[in-house]
Amino acid sequence: VVIPSPAGVTDLPALRDALLRNDGPLLVTATAGTTDTGRIDPLTDIADLTTTHGAELHIDAAYGGPLLFSPTHRHALRSLHRAHSVTLDLHNLGWQPASAGILAVPHRHHHDVLHHHAPCLNADDDTDAGLPDLLGRSLRTTRRPDALKIAVTLQALGRDGLADLVDRTLTTAHHLADLIDADPALELYDRPTISTVLFRPTHTDDTTVATIRRTLLDRGHAVLGRAHTDQGLWLKATLLNPHAT
């Protein structure tokens, strides 16, 4: 069941109607940091609705989750703790490999399904020979677990170190937004929620936006993505390097 998001975040009246219209069991998925704009759903209001209607809540915090490290910005994730499960993808604001994703749940027993044994993955002769398997060590079974890289980063930098990286990155994003807003030749989509800044030239069309993006990329000045909103096509700058100036 797809809930409309005309303003870039989940429409609460539409979500309420969907919860009333559909029989359980129900799971609501909210987003803390959309890919196109970085916007964060109204998590507290959504959590209230799921509690009222007996639905479970999953929050996709792949992009915005590391805001938790920052005392300055963690308020944006208020009520995240009320979710039944949360996903974080630490290659965004966690400076990890792309495969370093996390599924977090409130209680350890929710991971019991990982201990399921299957002959094709838990061969007895391998076990007897002392050969390790990855079942139970990784959500993706035969794929490598990247938890060690996350653990080492947390041990090396701590919450304060990661908070500093997050804060510097978001400060740079807001500085970029200020520069764009002050330039009459450019139009700013909105103030950045996290570290994604959307903008485009004033009085132009989609073809010009694509041409500018390609020119900047070819010259090595910037790597810009594209984002489609209800207002058309925009250039998308996502600040992820805390040492960018």
Summarised one tens digit per residue, pLDDT across range 7-24 is 899 999 999 999 999 988
Q: Three-state SS for 34?
A: coil
Q: Report the alpha-carbon distance of residue 130 to residue 132 in Å, rounded.
A: 6
Helix (H) or strand (E) segment spanning residue 206: helix 206-219
pLDDT band at 140 (very low <50, low <70, confident <90, very high): low
- The two tokens of residue 195 are 């570290």
Q: Are residues 98 and 70 in contact, defined by beta-carbon separation less than 8 angstroms?
A: no
The pTM of this model reads 0.85
CATH number of the 12-154 domain: 3.40.640.10
Q: What is the pLDDT of residue 141?
A: 65
Q: Report the alpha-carbon distance of residue 68 to residue 89 in Å, rounded.
A: 13
Instruction: Kindly compute the dihedral angle of the four CA atoms of residues 71, 160, 87, 39, in this order, to the nearest 10 degrees.
Output: 40
Summarised one tens digit per residue, pLDDT across range 171-210 is 999 999 999 999 998 999 999 999 999 999 887 777 777 7
- 14 Cα distance to chain centroid: 23
Q: Which class is domain 159-238? A: alpha beta
What are the φ and ψ backbone dihedral angles of 207, each rounded to 5 degrees?
-65, -40
- For 72-97, what is the mean pLDDT? 93
Helix (H) or strand (E) segment spanning residue 157: helix 147-181
Domain map (residue ranges) of the chain? 12-154, 159-238
